[in-house]
Amino acid sequence: MRDKKLCVDISKLLNTGISIEMYFIINCIYYEQRDVLEKYVLKCGRIDVSVFQKLIDLDYIIKLNEPLIFPNLKVTDKALKSLGLICELDHNRFFEELKAAYPSTFKVGKKVVRRFHQDMADCRKKYKSIIDSEEKHNLIIKCVNLYIKEQKDSGKMEFTQMLSSFLNQSNYEMYMDEARSIDSNNLISEDNHDVI
């Protein structure tokens, strides 16, 4: 939920019988945003335990362990479906955007061409297993852009990993912190498809 606006469908709240504050709590738990919830408590005051208990009674959150604190809470499938937090992700579009961001080839010398797009069926399957939200997809695209920029800037494009290796080894994770702190417009490359 980092840098994400909280959009509320009031009709869903009316149908489920929960308050905006309860919806906010569910979002904070689902997106693991303890810091956002803590800021809310600092500004608005302590949240009464009865609010959490009502969410438990409605089967929107479950308590994994005692005590009733943030890390011990989990959002239920019922809440995700009722509140529309789970939607069908467009994995095909996400994968096409990943392919567009990751160079397909690089010319080494006069005749040798390195191909980074191999085993694409496996890559598609792997990427689908990684992506659980559009936010994560967008973050990984930023990571890819950072990685490719780093390779170009250091003159090491010929040593760039194949896309399958980049995904299977979760190497995008090395760029996550930096990717979270930058505007994606600063990373857009003029030559996204090929580096020939």
Domain ranges of the chain: 10-82, 91-187
The DSSP call for residue 170 is T
Rounded CA separation 131/119 (Å): 18
150: pLDDT confidence band, cut at 50, 70 and 90?
Answer: very high
Note the pLDDT tens digit of each residue in 151-167: 999 999 989 999 999 99
Residue with tokens 């250091």: 154
DSSP three-state, residue 12 = helix
Q: What is the pTM of this model?
A: 0.52
The DSSP call for residue 189 is -
Rounded CA separation 12/92 (Å): 28
Burial environment of residue 167 by CB neighbours within 10 A (0 to 12, 13 to 18, 19 or more)? buried
pLDDT given at position 113: 85
The half-sphere exposure of 138 on its side-chain side, counting CA atoms within 13 A, is 14
User: Which whole number is the average pLDDT over 31-60?
Assistant: 87
Note the pLDDT tens digit of each residue in 107-128: 887 878 888 999 999 999 999 8
Structure tokens at 148: 């490719």
In the predicted model, what is the mean pLDDT of the chain?
82
